Structure 1
Amino acid sequence: MSVVDGVVVEGASLPGRQSDEGSGGRSTSRARLTSQARLTLVVLLVAQFMLAVDFSILNVALPVIGKGLGFSLSNLQWIGTAFALCAAGFTLLFGRVADLFGRRRLFLGGLAVLGLASLVGGLATGPGVLLVARVFQGLATAAVTPAGLSLLTTSFPEGPSRERALGLNGALMSAGFTTGAVLGGVLTDLLSWRWSFFINVPVAVAVLAVAPMVISESRPTERPRLDIPGALTVTLGLLAVVLGFARAGEQGWSDPVALGALAAGAVLLVVFFFVERVSSAPLVPVTVLRRRTVAVGNVAGILAFVTETSLVFLLTLYLQRVLGFSSLAAGLSLGVLGLGTVLGGVLAPRVIARTGTRVALVGGALVQAVATAALVALGTGPAGLALLLPAGFVGGVGNMLLIVGFMVTATGGLPDHEQGMAAGLATMSQQIGITLGTPVMSAVATGAMVTVTTHGILTGVRTAVAVDAVLVLVTALVAALFLRTAVE
């Protein structure tokens, strides 16, 4: 028995079995967390859950906010877009900054900014103040999420303890997105939309009070210089891509602004790749980008979050516009999906320990694809809800197996000094997936609607659900074909 990084390890490893991540062998040991490690895990998971809730907590409240603060209908979407642009566009940059200047320092600083921005947002008296608050909430999310994830991966040694931590993290991140929709409806109906902002403040204060006592600073002994050209090209490229997809979801795929932003984003990301090839201190080393587990893991991550968040949007549209549910009732109905993700997060580390990450990725994607495909049969009567509830639960379990498999794959087998960068890549994939899911599937559903009647909306939802299921199958195919069990 020994203690490694706050984990009590009993047993030995089997060198004969190799992992999907190419780490050279899986452990058959049992890992028990010390009380210090448990407290560290709780602090990090609470912060990550709060960030996930923020992505969806305002969705239900948008019309009420628009009326209360005087947003025009055309500008209302910027409440979400301003947050999403910063959260996705700056994630990779802040992930590397965490490596260079200290993960705990960035984690705590980002939480302080998030708490202050949430307070300002809740007290806002006009559109300008609210949008500024949303920008800073997005920037804080871009800082805290990769810093928190890299602290999580470096606080627990690679193997069962890290897989368990990532499983819980993935479950809470996914459940947080669903919880946000429910919580936003409850707070708006019972109190005020302002509490969708205020609720962050006490949580941020509590984490800031406890975190310095339980989380150790983590940064390299020698600080390399920051890759400014790489940081500029990747940040501007991601901002352009996210803006392009958001604009396409609102104005259609023929919108010149959307097409121009997407083209500019693609060019900038290509430039970023070539900048990294010649940089002496690259933001993301090309050797890491070429690593099969990193590349495939992040592709799977983007698709996992695109399909999950877009399905939540489609099912909300179905429940409200086809079955006539209120916003609160629709949110509560989607709670079964959140319960499925929690169960999936608990099961994922066990599945990975017994079968490997590749099986968890492919198996989870197949389970999610089957459950999603079943939703194509949704109708206009009560039977639709009877189908949605079990299919949503099973799909949530499968999606979480896929997400945890992606997290373990994308961050496994890398040294600690690259964990912030790997966590930044994984978080960027997560943020991009969350950001793009709704506008992409909204455009698909809208394009398939012949009319805006109940049957027309149902046709659009069914079409988009079918596309969603196909994307999950593509994820399973990518993981099955390009992830190998041998050491790379």
Structure 2
Amino acid sequence: MWSPDKFENMGTDEEWTAVTMASGDGLELVSPELEKGELHLVEEGHAEMSSNESITTLREGSDELEQRRIDIEKLGRERPAAFSSTWLEIAFVTAMLVSLSMAEFVIGGFQVVLPALVEPFGIPPSSQTWPSSVLTLVAGSFLFPLGRVTDMYGGYVVFNSGLMWFSIWVIAAGFAQNFTTLVLCRAMEGLGAAAFLPAGISLLGTIYRPGPRKNLVFALYGATAPLGFFSGIIIGGLAQDLLQWRWYFWIGGIVTGLCCAGALLTSPRDYTEARKMKVKMDWWGTCTMIPGLMLTIYSITESSHARRGWSSPEIVSTLVLGLVFLAATVYVEGWVATAPLIPADIFRVKYMKRMLFCLLLSWGVFSVYLFYSNFYIETILGKSALVTAVWFAPWAASGVILSTFAGLILHVFPGRVLLILSGICKVVAVLLFALIPENPNYWAWVFPAMVCEAACVDVLWTVSNVFLTTSLPRHRQGMAGAVITITVFVGGALVLAIADVAKGQFEAAGMEVKTQYKGVFLIGAGLAVLALISCSCIKLGKAGCALTVDEKEQEKEKEQKVEERPGLPRRNTQSSDATAVDSDAEIMGTLEADSEKTAVVAMSPLDAARK
């Protein structure tokens, strides 16, 4: 008989003791009866098993558990079953990457093109920001309803419809003959972006299982954002100088159209699977949320350009009315809607609120950095638009490299470490511009600021996307994309509005322009420190191979059915779950947590994933 001293106790309940041999021979399950040489399993008058037969059975269970570990690891690394070949997968991922880059393309380059439109279109100074902000306004207002449509009908339908709509209106903007037509085209572009952005995240989150492959794909997805933004600046400048401003829109529309054609051919069809979920639209929430977000975002983005700032009647009235609609949305979502657009239980996911708060602050500071650093380089340092664009090149290049690197190591290093490092980079980037001297050396001040800023936003984007899509079930992947995108939009608008108000106060106090900009950067640094503190409180583990949320629920249901069978001893699930689940692994879904948490079952949801 083996002595208990030879084992390392791994947890105890009333019937069973799980122990691991000190020599590392594997997992054995030993009961008090086994030490006496026999084991009785009572199941409605069935036979006894000898101790040797019991040990053999339990060893087979241990082998099955080890095989299950291997299956999870393999599924998290191999090509998804939705693609028949690697080339098809590459084409699909490329379409996803180009779609996000084109959304950034029409934002970044438009700032370069806009000055050339002021005179021919007769745009008054008070309305010059409207063509830029209307895209974000419409996109932010429709994200949640279109995210729900994605969950209802699948990412394939919504993504391709939205991308096609977006492409048409980008091309149409190139034919605009007046200010009103231009604003209409930009608004319709925002509607298309509100459809394909959350749908794209939904497709990636649904197709790819938790694991290194998913981490890398989301890292590449985030890496294309700065690349698209910078490409927009370059193409906008070249089109204006060498051709005509209209070619900026036509080039963007043509590239987006080609991307849409590729997505139509390569994206997995998920309509049938989505309809099986029986997700319903929340019309009451939609009717209150859209005007609420639209009016609130409008008041925030336009407050700094109004004649009397926040005290302007149009700003006060739209803000109050928007808040009333949002209050109605909260009531409808919490007490009226049977299928709310924003289910309250998503905020019960551990660290969800902290992650969204960190994302909101970080992206807000990023918007301040991007906007004011551009003005500082041109107005204070006296650089031309072309030189300014070249100075921003390391930001785009570093974003691609660092985001990809983050995806490669996300299953090796805890997410908390990456979040803290990205938060530190955010603080450093803003502080460098706040403390920059009169005639700075580019390589000592501007270059490291660009690299640090890229390290922050792109690493944070990758970690947050993996976290949200891994933490939510399949029928909420569209909502996950909407939550991420709306947080980014609102964060940028809110913090930029705060910075504009602060700059106005500095200007009213008689400060010189350089001091005004540095004051804004110091405010950004303070908010960056707050974001860093928030990041340090998010205890994310490694994003390794694991079961999906839906598979975990299926495993729980199978366990409950096994335990409810009459005549079988019930295990103490409360004590075993408490000792088996590591909090970090639970959030990011590591392999170790899933393997220890779930007992060997006759049929695993992994069987479905293999097909």
When normalised by structure 2's length, the TM-score is: 0.71
1:70-89 CA-partner distances (Å, limit 9, x unpaired): 21222221111221110111
The whole-number CA distance in structure 2 between the counterparts of 1:112 and 1:310 is: 31
Out of 313, 321, 337, the position equivalent to 2:379 is 321
1:210-260 CA-partner distances (Å, limit 9, x unpaired): 212210122231433310111122222211221111122223333343344
Indicate whether 1:414 and 2:472 are aligned.
yes
Secondary structure in 1 aligned to 2:512? helix
Tell me by how many angstroms 1:444 deviates.
Answer: 2.7
The number of equivalent residue pairs is 466
1:148-180 CA-partner distances (Å, limit 9, x unpaired): 111111121122211111111112123323433
Tell me by how many angstroms 1:186 deviates.
Answer: 2.7
Indicate whether 1:262 and 2:262 are aligned.
no
Q: Which residue of 2 aligns with 1:472?
A: 528
Tell me by how many angstroms 1:115 deviates.
Answer: 1.6
Unaligned runs of 5+ in 1: 1-10, 16-25
Change (3 A) 1:263 1:481: farther
1:237-287 CA-partner distances (Å, limit 9, x unpaired): 211221111122223333343344334434433332332223211112111
Kept in 2: contact 1:314–1:461 (CA 8 A):
yes
Secondary structure in 1 aligned to 2:503? helix
Tell me by how many angstroms 1:124 deviates.
Answer: 0.8
Instruction: Show the 5 A alignment for 1:340-359.
Output: 340-359=398-417
Q: Which residue of 1 aligns with 2:77?
A: 31
Q: Which residue of 1 aligns with 2:225?
A: 173
Q: Which residue of 2 aligns with 1:404?
A: 462
Change (3 A) 1:211 1:65: same
The whole-number CA distance in structure 2 between the counterparts of 1:282 and 1:83 is: 26
Secondary structure in 2 aligned to 1:119? helix
Instruction: Show the 5 A alignment for 1:282-361.
Output: 282-361=340-419
Of 263-272 and 414-423, deviating more is 263-272
Kept in 2: contact 1:88–1:435 (CA 8 A):
no
Indicate whether 1:122 and 2:174 are aligned.
yes
Kept in 2: contact 1:344–1:399 (CA 8 A):
no
Kept in 2: contact 1:378–1:387 (CA 8 A):
yes
Change (3 A) 1:153 1:222: closer
Of 251-260 and 370-379, deviating more is 251-260
Of 157-166 and 350-359, deviating more is 350-359
Secondary structure in 2 aligned to 1:71? coil
Tell me by how many angstroms 1:476 deviates.
Answer: 1.8
Tell me by how many angstroms 1:420 deviates.
Answer: 0.7
Change (3 A) 1:13 1:248: farther
Indicate whether 1:94 and 2:149 are aligned.
no
Indicate whether 1:221 and 2:276 are aligned.
yes
Indicate whether 1:183 and 2:235 are aligned.
yes
Change (3 A) 1:405 1:259: farther
Tell me by how many angstroms 1:14 deviates.
Answer: 6.9
Q: Which residue of 2 aligns with 1:3?
A: none
Tell me by how many angstroms 1:391 deviates.
Answer: 1.8
Of 369-378 and 442-451, deviating more is 442-451
Out of 253, 261, 264, the position equivalent to 1:201 is 253
Indicate whether 1:159 and 2:211 are aligned.
yes
The whole-number CA distance in structure 2 between the counterparts of 1:168 and 1:449 is: 41
Q: Which amino acid aligns with 2:383?
A: F
Q: Which residue of 1 aligns with 2:133?
A: 81
Q: Which residue of 2 aligns with 1:103?
A: 155
Indicate whether 1:142 and 2:194 are aligned.
yes
The whole-number CA distance in structure 1 between the counterparts of 2:226 and 2:89 is: 23
1:108-146 CA-partner distances (Å, limit 9, x unpaired): 111221121112110111111111111101111111111
Of 431-440 and 375-384, deviating more is 431-440
Q: Which residue of 2 aligns with 1:447?
A: 505
Q: Which residue of 1 aligns with 2:289?
A: 234
The whole-number CA distance in structure 1 between the counterparts of 2:449 and 2:536 is: 24
Secondary structure in 1 aligned to 2:77? strand
Secondary structure in 2 aligned to 1:123? coil
Q: Which residue of 1 aligns with 2:24?
A: none
The whole-number CA distance in structure 1 between the counterparts of 2:242 and 2:312 is: 39
Identify which of structures 1 and 2 has the higher relative contact order when contacts are C-alpha pairs closer than 8 Å and 6+ apart: 1
Out of 41, 50, 56, the position equivalent to 2:108 is 56
Q: Which amino acid aligns with 1:361?
A: L
The whole-number CA distance in structure 2 between the counterparts of 1:200 and 1:338 is: 18
The whole-number CA distance in structure 1 between the counterparts of 2:374 and 2:221 is: 25
Q: Which residue of 2 aligns with 1:22?
A: none
Secondary structure in 2 aligned to 1:199? helix
Secondary structure in 1 aligned to 2:471? coil
1:182-222 CA-partner distances (Å, limit 9, x unpaired): 33223222222212211222112212222122101222314
Kept in 2: contact 1:48–1:145 (CA 8 A):
yes
Tell me by how many angstroms 1:480 deviates.
Answer: 2.2
Indicate whether 1:275 and 2:332 are aligned.
yes
The whole-number CA distance in structure 2 between the counterparts of 1:178 and 1:255 is: 35
Q: Which residue of 2 aligns with 1:250?
A: 305
Tell me by how many angstroms 1:317 deviates.
Answer: 0.5
Of 81-90 and 298-307, deviating more is 298-307
Secondary structure in 2 aligned to 1:354? coil
Tell me by how many angstroms 1:384 deviates.
Answer: 6.1
Kept in 1: contact 2:423–2:535 (CA 8 A):
no
- The higher radius of gyration belongs to 2
Kept in 2: contact 1:233–1:271 (CA 8 A):
yes
The whole-number CA distance in structure 2 between the counterparts of 1:156 and 1:73 is: 47
When normalised by structure 1's length, the TM-score is: 0.88
Kept in 2: contact 1:13–1:28 (CA 8 A):
no
Q: Which amino acid aligns with 1:306?
A: G
Kept in 1: contact 2:426–2:453 (CA 8 A):
yes
Indicate whether 1:456 and 2:502 are aligned.
no
Kept in 2: contact 1:186–1:328 (CA 8 A):
no
Unaligned runs of 5+ in 2: 1-65, 80-85, 542-582, 588-611
Out of 97, 114, 118, the position equivalent to 1:66 is 118
Secondary structure in 1 aligned to 2:310? coil
Change (3 A) 1:292 1:238: farther
Tell me by how many angstroms 1:475 deviates.
Answer: 1.4
Q: Which amino acid aligns with 1:324?
A: G
Kept in 2: contact 1:120–1:129 (CA 8 A):
no
Out of 9, 22, 42, the position equivalent to 2:94 is 42
Change (3 A) 1:445 1:290: same
The whole-number CA distance in structure 2 between the counterparts of 1:140 and 1:240 is: 20
Change (3 A) 1:135 1:271: same
Tell me by how many angstroms 1:438 deviates.
Answer: 4.1
Change (3 A) 1:60 1:444: farther
Q: Which amino acid aligns with 2:77?
A: A
